[in-house]
Structures are given as C-alpha cells and as structure tokens.
Structure 1
C-alpha cells in the first residue's frame, strides 16, 4: 500500500491506539505490551505488525526479543491529510466571511 492508508488502518483500532500511547512513554517488548491486554501474545504481535506496516512503530531485534519503539514521524501522513482539510476549511470560511462582509456593505 502507498499513501496514508496503512497509517489510517493502523490507527483505526482502539487497541493499537492504546499500544501507541504506551510506546510513547517507553520502548517495550512484545511480552511487555501483551501484559497490558487481555489477549494472546500472538494477537498483540499482529497489532504490532499493523503498527509497523503503518510506519507508526519501529521494531529492533535485541537477542531473542523484539523491541517496539514509537515512531512520531509515522504520523506525518495523518498530519498531511488533516492539514489539507484545514486549508480547505480556511479557504471556505474566508470566502464566506468575504461574502457576508460584501452583503453587509
């Protein structure tokens, strides 16, 4: 996939958003992440894979463990998308303001 789709897919699930919040504070192994959820380690690993595919985390092997780290740069596609709509609404509201001011004069 290209573009922001993998990032939005990763953010679509509340469990993955919770994992990102946890990883914001510190790097964690799969087991450490799994301790915080009522699901199997395999299910947590699938969530981490989706987050990695979305560019929101990086995974580094350390011996037999895999260390998961939040990647703030992975939020760029989301911010770009939101900024597009922010600019869109700025333009629309500016045009509306001009139309209202024109009608009142």
Structure 2
C-alpha cells in the first residue's frame, strides 16, 4: 500500500528490469550513482531517474557522504511484495500437490501394466 509520501508503489518500481538489477546491486552494499551506472548501458542521468523511482517507492534510501549520494536498499519495503505473493503461494502449492499425485498415480498404473504383461508372457 502506498503512503502519502510515495509517488510509486513497490510493484511499479520493480516492473522495470533495470531497477530490479539495481536492487540486486544494492543488496550487497550501499553505492553511489557513479558506481551503479557502471553496470548499465545507459547514461548516469537515466540511472539517477531509475534510482529516484526506487527512492520514491521507499525501496532505497539515500545518504549524502561528502560530495556523493550513496544509495542503500530498504528491504522492509519488499515485505509488501512478500505478503502479496504469499497469498498466491497457496495456489501453487495446491497445483504442485495435484501434479505430484497425478505423476505418482501414473507411475503406479504403468507398473501395473508392466506387471500384467510379464504375467501374461
């Protein structure tokens, strides 16, 4: 859910593959925009725009250290994604259980056919 200060929600922010990659980079350490921009085939200005979207969705924070701004991942903002995905996890668990049941029954049926062929020979 977006707070009053947010311009973008978490889902909008992670919709772009470049921003997802930026989050991965920031998961290991805080970095200035110049270091982040080395990992992307785009201008530093474009990287800054992406970082601003991440900042406005509360996925990253920024701290000024000397003359540079250092961006840092704010993992608590990802909890919204986790909660949303956990609701749908139950459907996958159900589908996987059904698939397992089908495969196990199919294997049992195949073994019965093989056994009956051996018996008839």
Return the TM-score normalized by structure 2: 0.66
5+ residue gaps in structure 1? 98-105
- Which of 1 and 2 has higher RCO (CA within 8 Å, sep 6+)? 1
Render the CA deviation track for 1:37-59: whole Å, top value 9, x for unaligned.
11111100001011111221111
Give the secondary structure class of the aligned counterpart of 2:34. Answer: helix
Q: Distance in 2 between matches of 1:19 and 1:2?
A: 21
CA-based RMSD of the aligned residues comes to 2.2
Paired residue total = 91
Q: Distance in 2 between matches of 1:71 and 1:2?
A: 15
Higher-Rg member (1/2): 2
5+ residue gaps in structure 2? 99-121
**Of the candidates 25, 31, 48, which is equivalent to residue 51 of structure 2?**
48
